[in-house]
Amino acid sequence: MDELGLNKLFAGILVAGLMLMAGIKLADVLVPHSELTQNAYVIEVPEGGTAVAEAPKATGPEPIFALLASADAIAGEKLAKKCTACHVFDQGGANKVGPALWNIVNANKGAVDGFSYSGALTDFGGQWDYAALNAFLYKPKAYISGTKMNFAGLKKPSDRANMIAYLRQQADAPATLPTDAEIAAESGG
Ligand code: HEC
């Protein structure tokens, strides 16, 4: 190969090299490196806790406010047979294994005269409003861990609504029913 041929060859290699570099630069511009802003795997860590697998949450207690207005207090009275081994519902009824439950809706928790409550219940505080009764009657020991009420709970929303409708009637003046706004708030909308 003569000198001119060699020069052409080198020029060719040079141009090819330049084009390659230009190509890489161009690719850089066209396809910008996207920095990963998040971990590709999102690891859920509960706030203030460590990432341990938690037991699946129980589904209940389902909302019952909307059911209360049309709940059946007579059916509730029948359900109350599940309670009467331990509770009296009548006005002036005495404490038994559990406290007397006349006037219980909206009463302070753990406040029936002369009944010896568990520390768990008296420490819990608050009133027996509809939401508290719904949660407690769904599963007493889940709502107040350490309560000495040995009762599995009423799993059916309609049972709890009927039961609470009956409790509401066992009072000097039945508590007002939940408002539309309260019903909406309870069911998360
Ligand atoms: C095996 C006995 C037993 C049965 C059955 C039972 N309870 Fe109770 N209940 C108790 C005891 C004991 C307490 C007090 C709990 C404590 O001090 O931790 C209690 C507490 C309560 C309270 C809270 C009272 C307060 O003054 O704070 C309510 C409300 C209640 N029971 C409703 C019911 C209803 C409604 C049923 C039936 C669906 C029922 N219970 C079934 C024993 C029972």
CA of 63 to the centre of ligand 1 (A): 21
Residue 69: inside a domain: yes
Q: In this predicted structure, what is the pLDDT of residue 174?
A: 97
pTM, full prediction: 0.75
Q: In this predicted structure, what is the pLDDT of residue 8?
A: 78
Give ligand 1 pocket residues (Cβ under 6 A): 82-83, 85-87, 97-99, 101, 104, 109-112, 117-118, 120-121, 128, 137, 147-151, 154, 163
User: Domain total for the chain?
Assistant: 1
pLDDT tens-digit map of 123-158: 999 999 999 999 999 999 999 999 999 999 999 999
How far, in Å, CA of 11 to CA of 7, rounded?
A: 6
How far, in Å, CA of 166 to CA of 130, rounded?
A: 12
CA of 4 to the centre of ligand 1 (A): 106
Residue 16: inside a domain: no
CA of 140 to the centre of ligand 1 (A): 8
CA of 7 to the centre of ligand 1 (A): 102
Q: In this predicted structure, what is the pLDDT of residue 16?
A: 74
CATH number at residue 116: 1.10.760.10
Q: Whose CA is nearest to atom 26 of ligand 1?
A: 110
Domain extent at residue 126: 65-186
CA of 165 to the centre of ligand 1 (A): 16
Residue 75: inside a domain: yes
The preferred substitution site among 81, 82, 86 for testing ligand 1, maximizing ligand atoms within 8 Å of CB, is: 86
Q: In this predicted structure, what is the pLDDT of residue 67?
A: 98
CA of 99 to the centre of ligand 1 (A): 7
Residue 170: inside a domain: yes
CB neighbourhood size of 74 (10 A): 11
Low-confidence ranges of the chain (pLDDT < 70): 1, 17, 22-58, 189
Closest ligand 1 atom, CA of 109? 27
Closest ligand 1 atom, CA of 144? 18
Q: In this predicted structure, what is the pLDDT of residue 10?
A: 74
Residue 53: inside a domain: no
Which of 70, 88, 39, 91 lies closest to 157 in space, CA to CA?
70
Q: Whose CA is nearest to atom 40 of ligand 1?
A: 83
Residue 28: inside a domain: no
Residue 93: inside a domain: yes
Q: In this predicted structure, what is the pLDDT of residue 131?
A: 98
Residue 45: inside a domain: no
